[in-house]
Amino acid sequence: FTSFLHLPGASEEVAPPVQQCFMVPKKEINVVSDMAKWKRSQAYADYMGFILTLNEGVRGKKLTCEYKVSEAIEKLVALLNTLDRWIDETPPVDQPSRFGNKAFRTWYAKLDQEAEKLVSTVIPKHLADAAPEVAVYLKESVGNSTRIDYGTGHEAAFAAFLCCLCKIGVLRVDDQMAIVFKVFNRYLEVMRKLQKTYRMEPAGSQGVWGLDDFQFLPFIWGSSQLIDHPSLEPRHFVDEKVVNENHKDFMFLECILFITEMKTGPFAEHSNQLWNISAVPSWSKVNQGLIRMYKAECLEKFPVIQHFKFGSLLPIQPVTS
């Protein structure tokens, strides 16, 4: 899968003419039996390939290390900064219910309206036709405006958004570390701010039996970062002091810090799955286990995948290669 980002147009020469008919992605998974179509699809193969390529790309690397930051990466960060600014401009409203602040709908309506324009700032002129297709994944990645909830399906839409940008050659193979450390990490910060500000509900959460109320991918990539670390072992992430001293270097520990800020009571009680993971002897075992768990708990669950959308870049058609 390491060749995933070596796609047509992923070289540094003049961008090739794109022989692509872009389309607005749509729902294809309507009943449980459609899940078989998803698992055989080109979309599933490409999505998983993308996740695993990035998993290798960040292996053993700190968030604070040196890496190339391309113009496309800078533009994506600027896009996320815009979403962040809109949160400041859309304060929560007074309402009787504690969760699901309705101001989120106002914030979301702005994104809904501006998404294509935002995406157009990231992609070059000759690919302008791709904007409506790619923008759908951006809109799907921030939570549901009716239910005011957020979960791993929304997170998957953001990974799909980045995957599409790779497929059209906007992001390239040497952007791997920046995709996770700069773009995805910034996305996480904005999502945490949304979750906090508008008191969003966890979407399809397994409550205490899930890994986390909202995210999954930063645990995968974050555990890869820690593989072969000279001193930090999985048992250390439940130690508050270790987390406080190292969270700026490791995505996994950032996630733990956010959980402990948001939840009260013993860690073993509110985050039982993570507590169990802290007993695994090595980070590579944690990483492999989380990849298996991600497939089983997120990508193979109908309630999550029924919302996924398919277009020309992430097609529902069966794998060809």
Q: Which residues, 6 or more positions from 94, have their beta carbon under 8 angstroms from its beta carbon?
A: none
- Closest by CA to 106, choosing from 114, 118, 98, is 114
Task: Name residue 148's amino acid.
Answer: I
Domain region containing 254: 207-295
Question: Once rounded to an integer, what is the mean pLDDT over residues 296-304?
Answer: 94
Q: What integer pLDDT is reported at residue 13 of this predicted model? A: 43
More confident residue, 16 or 256: 256
- Residue 6: pLDDT band (50, 70, 90) is low
Q: Tell me whether residue 227 is in a domain.
A: yes
Mean pLDDT rounded to a whole number for the chain: 93
Range 204-207 contact pairs with CB under 8 angstroms and sequence separation of 24 or more: 204/151, 204/152, 204/153, 204/301, 204/303, 204/304, 205/151, 206/297
Looking at the fold, whether 164 and 245 belong to one and the same domain comes out as no
Looking at the fold, whether 52 and 75 belong to one and the same domain comes out as yes
- Round to whole Å and give the CA distance between 114 and 17: 27
Give the percent of the chain with pLDDT over 90.
90
Q: Among 3-12, 85-94, 200-209, whose mean pLDDT is lowest?
A: 3-12
Q: What integer pLDDT is reported at residue 20 of this predicted model? A: 76
| Residue bearing tokens 């950032």 | 254
Q: What integer pLDDT is reported at residue 204 of this predicted model? A: 72
- Residue 320: pLDDT band (50, 70, 90) is confident
Strands (DSSP E) contained in the chain are: 26-27, 149-150, 201-202, 309-310
Looking at the fold, whether 227 and 152 belong to one and the same domain comes out as no
Looking at the fold, whether 175 and 230 belong to one and the same domain comes out as no
Count structural domains, the chain.
Answer: 2
Question: Once rounded to an integer, what is the mean pLDDT over residues 260-272?
Answer: 92
Q: Which residues, 6 or more positions from 90, have their beta carbon under 8 angstroms from its beta carbon?
A: 103, 106, 107, 110
More confident residue, 293 or 19: 293
Residue 58: is its pLDDT beyond 70? yes
CA triple 191-194-196, angle to 5 deg: 110
Looking at the fold, whether 131 and 37 belong to one and the same domain comes out as yes
Looking at the fold, whether 238 and 164 belong to one and the same domain comes out as no
pTM of this structure: 0.94
| Residue bearing tokens 């292996």 | 59
Looking at the fold, whether 37 and 175 belong to one and the same domain comes out as yes
Q: Which CATH number does the domain housing residue 212 bear?
A: 1.20.120.1150
Question: Once rounded to an integer, what is the mean pLDDT over residues 109-120?
Answer: 98
Looking at the fold, whether 282 and 306 belong to one and the same domain comes out as no
Q: Tell me whether residue 55 is in a domain.
A: yes
Q: Tell me whether residue 100 is in a domain.
A: yes
Looking at the fold, whether 175 and 266 belong to one and the same domain comes out as no
How many CB atoms lie under 10 A from the CB of residue 45? 18
- 189-208 pLDDT, tens digit per residue, is 999 999 999 999 999 766 66
Looking at the fold, whether 98 and 173 belong to one and the same domain comes out as yes
- Round to whole Å and give the CA distance between 151 and 140: 11
Looking at the fold, whether 280 and 306 belong to one and the same domain comes out as no
- Round to whole Å and give the CA distance between 293 and 289: 6
Q: How many residues does the chain have?
A: 321
Q: Tell me whether residue 231 is in a domain.
A: yes
Looking at the fold, whether 30 and 175 belong to one and the same domain comes out as yes
